[in-house]
C-alpha cells in the first residue's frame, strides 16, 4: 500500500528535511485529505507532540474522523495511545518511547499493546547513520534496526521504518536497507525517508514493503494519480 503523509506543526501541514528544517507548507489539512481521497489510509504525524512542544490534537481528531488514519507523534503514555484510538485512529505509531537508553522498553510496549490491542500498534524504527534515532530524530541510540525488529514483534502488528539520512532530501532512499529489514521480520513493514521516484515505490511494493510518501508528493515529483494506480 501507499500512505500519503500529513505532518502537522503549529497547526499547519509541513514537510521537514531530516526532521529539522521546514522545507515547505502544504495546503490546509482538509484540503490535503481531499487530494489524498483515492488512497485507503493516511499517515498523520504530530511533529509538535513528537518534539515535546505542544500538540495538534484538534487537527488530529478532525483528520481521524474523516479518513482512515495511522497516527503518531508524542505517544509517550498509554493514555495518549488510548486517546488517539478514541479520536478515531485506526493504528497508533509509537517511536521514542519504544526504546530506552539500553534497549527495548518492553514494559511500556506491553502496557500499550494490552490497552489498545496488538493489531492497532505500530512501532517506528527510524535510522540515521545506521543507528535508531529518537526524540524527533535528535538523539541516537546504540541499536541497529535490523537487530531489534524480531524482539519487537510480540508487541505490535508492524513497523514504520524511516531512513532519516535521506528524509526530505529528494535524493532517493536506501533500498538495500529495506531489503535487510524485510528479511528481519514477517510483520507489516512501511518504508519512509527519501523515496523519490516511481521506480523506488515499485521496488518497495515488489518486496512487500509499503511506502509512506511525503516530500515527493508535496513537490509534485510523484504524481498522485500514478501512485493511486499502484495500490
As annotated, the active-site residues are 7, 126
CA distance 161 to 154: 17
- Angle of CA points 50, 221, 229, to nearest 5°: 95
Q: CA-to-CA distance for 91 and 38, rounded, in angstroms? A: 19
Q: 224 CB contacts (<8 Å, ≥6 apart)?
A: 4, 35, 36, 38, 217
CA distances from 194 to 129, 144, 164 (A): 14, 19, 8
Q: Do 78 and 115 meet the contact criterion of CB atoms below 8 Å apart?
A: yes
Between CA 12 and CA 27 the distance in angstroms is 8
Look up residue 48 and give its DSSP letter: H
CB 97 within 8 A of CB 106: no
Closest CA to 29 of 57, 1, 52, 54: 57
Amino acid at each position: 500500500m501507499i500512505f500519503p503523509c500529513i505532518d502537522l506543526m503549529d497547526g499547519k501541514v509541513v514537510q521537514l528535511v531530516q526532521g529539522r528544517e521546514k522545507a515547505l507548507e502544504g495546503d490546509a489539512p482538509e484540503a490535503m485529505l481531499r487530494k489524498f481521497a483515492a488512497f485507503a489510509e493516511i499517515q498523520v504525524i504530530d511533529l509538535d507532540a513528537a518534539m515535546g512542544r505542544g500538540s495538534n490534537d484538534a487537527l488530529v481528531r478532525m483528520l481521524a474522523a474523516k479518513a482512515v488514519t495511522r497516527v503518531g507523534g508524542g505517544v509517550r503514555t498509554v493514555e495518549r495511545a488510548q486517546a488517539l484510538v478514541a479520536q478515531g485512529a485506526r493504528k497508533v505509531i509509537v517511536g521514542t518511547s519504544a526504546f530506552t537508553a539500553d534497549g527495548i522498553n518492553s514494559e511500556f510496549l506491553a502496557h500499550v499493546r494490552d490497552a489498545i490491542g496488538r493489531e492497532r500498534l505500530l512501532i517506528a524504527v527510524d535510522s540515521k547513520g545506521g543507528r535508531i534515532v529518537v526524540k524527533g530524530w535528535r538523539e541516537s541510540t546504540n541499536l541497529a534496526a535490523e537487530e531489534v525488529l524480531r524482539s519487537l514483534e510480540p508487541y505490535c502488528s508492524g513497523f514504520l521504518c524511516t531512513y532519516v539520512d535521506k528524509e526530505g532530501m529528494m535524493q532517493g532512499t536506501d533500498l538495500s536497507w529495506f531489503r535487510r529489514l524485510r528479511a528481519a521480520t514477517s510483520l507489516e513493514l512501511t518504508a519512509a525517508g527519501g523515496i523519490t521516484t516511481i521506480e523506488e515505490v515499485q521496488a518497495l511494493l515488489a518486496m512487500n514493503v509499503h511506502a509512506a510518501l511525503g516530500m515527493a508528493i508535496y513537490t509534485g515529483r510523484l504524481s498522485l494519480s500514478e501512485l493511486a494506480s499502484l495500490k
